[in-house]
Amino acid sequence: MKKIPLTELCRVIRSKNAGPFELTLDLIFKDQKTYEQVKKMKAIEASLIARLYHVPEEEVLSLVYFDPALAVKATIKRPAGAGSLGETDVYGAQQHAPLLGVQIEMPPDFDRTGDLV
């Protein structure tokens, strides 16, 4: 296995409010092959999101693989409602950074070059 950073596998990594009380995280992969491989290995799971954001796993409200967009989406409870006292990010748009440091164990023969769909 070789470790490849999510930043090399994805073309979009972002966070945003899904309403004022939930924070949603999107990973959109660069191509079909990468997405299928990550999905097959279940490399992105609720436990990973829970660990990255150190929240209990039950606060990861959903984790969905969405084939048409080559995307994985996870939604967590916001620590505080958007714009409430002491809250830090009204739009929730800068909460994605922990995902940028994630490395995924890909099979040794995985090669992203020349794998266009």
Partner 1 sequence: MDKELKILAPTAILGYGFPEASWEQGLAAEPDLIAVDAGSVDPGPFYLGAGKSFTDRSGVKRDLRYLLQAAVEKKIPLMIGSAGGAGGSSHLKWCQEIVAEITREEGLQFDLALIEAEINRKQVLNWYHQGKFLSNDDLPLNEEEINKASSIVAQMGSEPFIEALEKGAGVILAGRAYDPSVFAAYPLWKGYDPALALHLGKILECAAIASEPGSGRDAMLGFLGPDYFQVEPLSPRRRCTPASVAAHTLYEKKDPLHLPGPGGELDLEKTTFMAVNERRVEVRGTRFKPTPHYYLKLEGAKKAGYRTISVAGIRDPIMIREMENIIREVREEVHDNFRGTIDPADFHILFRLYGQDGVMGDLESVPFQGHELGLIIEAVAPSQAWADTLCSFARSTMLHFGYEGRISTAGNLAFPYSPSDFSGGAVYEFNIHHLVAVDNPREYFPVEIIRGFKGGAL
Q: Give residues in contact with partner 1 (CB under 8 A).
A: 12, 16-22, 24, 26, 28, 52-55, 61-62, 64, 66, 68-71, 73, 75, 77, 79-91, 94-95, 97-98
Q: What is d(CA 46, CA 52) in angstroms, rounded to the nearest whole number?
A: 10
For 47, the enclosing helix (H) or strand (E) is: helix 46-52
Confirm if 31 and 113 have CB atoms less than 8 A apart. no
**Cα-Cα-Cα-Cα dihedral sign, residues 20, 75, 13, 95:** positive
Least distance from C-beta 111 to partner 1, angstroms? 21
CB-nearer residue toward partner 1: 29 or 37:
29
Least distance from C-beta 109 to partner 1, angstroms? 25
Least distance from C-beta 76 to partner 1, angstroms? 9
Q: What is d(CA 67, CA 72) in angstroms, rounded to the nearest whole number?
A: 8
Least distance from C-beta 101 to partner 1, angstroms? 9
CB-nearer residue toward partner 1: 68 or 108:
68
